[in-house]
Every structure is written in C-alpha cells, then in structure tokens.
Chains A and B, each alone.
Chain A
C-alpha cells in the first residue's frame, strides 16, 4: 500500500497527562482520512505533532518519506494546514494575508485569487481580516491551507463556526480536492456523520488511544459484527467510545 503519512507509536505526554498514546496511523496517498474522536481525544495534538508544532514524547512519523525535524522545511512546503482556530494578521486584509503565505511558499500571484475563489471569499478579499465574521475567518484559514494546492492537507475541524450552507459548501470542496488535483487530506472532526460523508478511511481516537483504523467499509463491517445497524454508524462510534471510557475507569480503579 502506498502510504503518504505514517506514524509509529506516536505519544505525547504533558507531565502525567497522556494526550496521545501509542498512535500508529496509515494514511493512503490520494485518500481522505477522517480523524474522529470526541473533544480532548488527542486529534489536534496528533496533527500538531505532524506539523512540528509540538515534539512527540515517543514514537516517530514520516510524511512523504520525510521526517521532522531534519526535513521540516521540505515537509511544510508540501503540507497545507489549518489547525484549531484560523490564524491571520489582523492588521492585513484577507488578500494581504494570503499574499504573505504566497511569498513564503514562492508561488505565483494568481494563486491568491485562486484560493480565495475556492473558498468563496473573492468579494471580501480586500476587507481587513479582523473585520471578518467567524465563518469568513474559517474560510480564510482554509484558503491559506489550499494556497498553491499542496499535495497534503491537514485540516483540524475546518467547518467549525460555519453555517449549514457553509459546512455543506466546504465539505463538498474538501471531498472534491483529491480528484481536483490529486492531494491527500487528513481531516479531523468529532462528528462521524460529517466524516462519513467525505472520508475514504477513518481513524477513531479516544483519550489519546486509537480505537479503530480502516476504511468506511471496514467500519460498517465492524458495526455489523457488533450488532449495530450499518446505516447508523454514529451509535456504534458512541458505543465504542463509551466502552473504552468504561474500561479506562475500570483500569483506573484497579
């Protein structure tokens, strides 16, 4: 199998708190990988490690055959990212913000308009970013990640703060990206219903541990075996998390 991102027993500890515990991921090239888990499961921390924002306590990972910190610049040239909340220069317009990123990436001027158009922000490009609504900031962050159409996209809950039509629009955009220009997307969410609509593969994380990894079909199969209806994976996801929480409590008692 042609994996573009792999992690090997990736662990992140903050003093006694284990945010990510021995996570081993396999993300296929050209696929959309949905990273699922409740709030505080360790999705953002894992993504931050992949982007070099925080160092792993244990374990390793490779992105397109490259490793941090040796290949930091080479990795970041290939990865478009959007982590947690949108990051922007409040004193600059949307267009100027993207122009800063464009200059860093050494891309042609036209990529700014292209990215603005992709996220539906063209008509607000000349407005100061601080005057954007939450949804517009979210779109600007996404435009920053899509700038230059990078081969790998790491998106942490990109539809947060968007209205239903915005969610639908962005979801369709993300879904179309691998066909549009052959990229790989790692997208996190705490809603299986959302991930289900766009992802090819899924990783389920709870309290830092990977509970499931496989394709959507594998997950349906797993649901069937566990006695859940295949058309309601949400129930199975919740039961999986609850079961893990219960066993954690039991282990803690012992």
Chain B
C-alpha cells in the first residue's frame, strides 16, 4: 500500500491520470454523438439492438483506449528514466518489482475508470434510445468486462516494453506498430495470431455479437499474466548499470 501511494505521488504532473480520464470522457462523448447522428442507420442494421449498441460503437472506443494505454504506459516509465530517477530507486530500500506492480495497478485502475465512463454512456444511450424493452443491463456489463479483459494484454505488454527502454519513442513506436499489425491480423481466422496482444484487444471490435468469446477471454488472461510476470522478473533481475 505504501509503495502504491508513493507511485501515485510520482504521477503528479505526468499527465497519466488526466489522460486516462480524458480517454474515458472522449469515448463516452463519441458514443453519444455517434448514436445521435447515426441512430436510424444503426437501428436499421440486421442485428439485435444490444449488439448494435455494443459492437457498432466499440471500434472507435477501443482505438481510443488502445492509444490511451500506449501513451500512458510510455509516460509512466518516461518519468522514471527522465532525470535518471529510477537509478535512485535502485539505491533505496524499495522493491523494484513491487514498484512495477503498483504502476501496473495504477494503469489498470485508470483503464477501468475510462471503461466505466464509456459504458455509463452506453447504458444511458441504451435506456433512452434503444427500442423499449430491448436494453439488457447484464449484456452491457458482460461486454464491458469482456472489452476490459481483452484490453489487459496490451496494457501488460506495453508496460513491460516501456520499462525496458529509456527512450520513450521506442515503446511508442512499438505500440503504433502493434496497433497497425494488429489491425491487419485481427480479421484472420488463424487462432495463432492471438498471441499478438493487439489482435486480442481488437477481437470484440470486429465481432458482430456482444456475447463474449470464452477462448479470447482465456487468451487475454494468460497473456496479461505472462507479460506481467515478464515485467516483474526483469524488474528484479536486470539491474541499473
């Protein structure tokens, strides 16, 4: 808990927390505006109203979340490398892996807040704009959980990458390359491509149903844990030289 509070204090003026809140608000605003402008077109699609609400708006929200995660992960470690602050941390009686874990938790909580903002907007649209009796709160909650879980591999991967490179442009470049290659591979039927964390995050965006895919959920959880363990291990093993 002490390390978590210390990590939160370090975030002051980095912009990580305002960025993730902005991502949540922007995603919510996008959902509102899009549904107001395209309401009739969207509701005339040959899909169930809940599928329309959740899958047709998620694409842009997912892109916002993805770029939010990439930039926030880069920023959360850039402040450690700028001014060589991390070197001081290695010389203090603090567990560097715990520090890494706290950064992971901060990003996860901020992403959760952003996802909550976005889904509150979707809930509001569902209650007011979907045909009467078609809004299902449990479907919304399960899709929110599904989209959050599928975003976690990218968060875990990007934090690991950001912790390894002192030059912020390297993880940023890897993030952009991950997004572009993920876009290219997301529609493929080949299951092996799911080892790519960005492909996993894109899966709910290309689906036509709001029902979570259990295989994608399992892969997401495995990848999240794997990248987290890799980050914790390297934080412990690799010293500052």
Contact = CB atoms under 8 A, between A and B. Distances in A.
Interface residues of B, number: 25
Contacts of A89: 10, 79, 82-83, 85
A103 B10 CA distance: 12
A64 to B, nearest CB: 14
Contacts of B13: 91-92
Nearest to A45: B241
A172 to B, nearest CB: 25
Interface stretch (A30-38, A47-55, A182-190, A240-248): A47-55
Contact of A103 (B5, B95, B239): B5
A34 B90 CA distance: 24
B14 interface: yes
B84 interface: yes
A85 B85 CA distance: 11
A101 interface: yes
B92 interface: yes
Contacts, number: 80
Nearest to B84: A87
B2 interface: yes
25 contacts: A53-B87, A53-B90, A53-B241, A72-B93, A74-B93, A76-B91, A81-B91, A83-B87, A85-B84, A87-B83, A88-B83, A88-B84, A88-B85, A89-B10, A90-B83, A90-B85, A91-B14, A91-B79, A92-B12, A92-B13, A101-B88, A104-B6, A104-B92, A104-B93, A144-B88
Interface of B: 2, 5-6, 9-10, 12-14, 79, 82-88, 90-95, 239-241
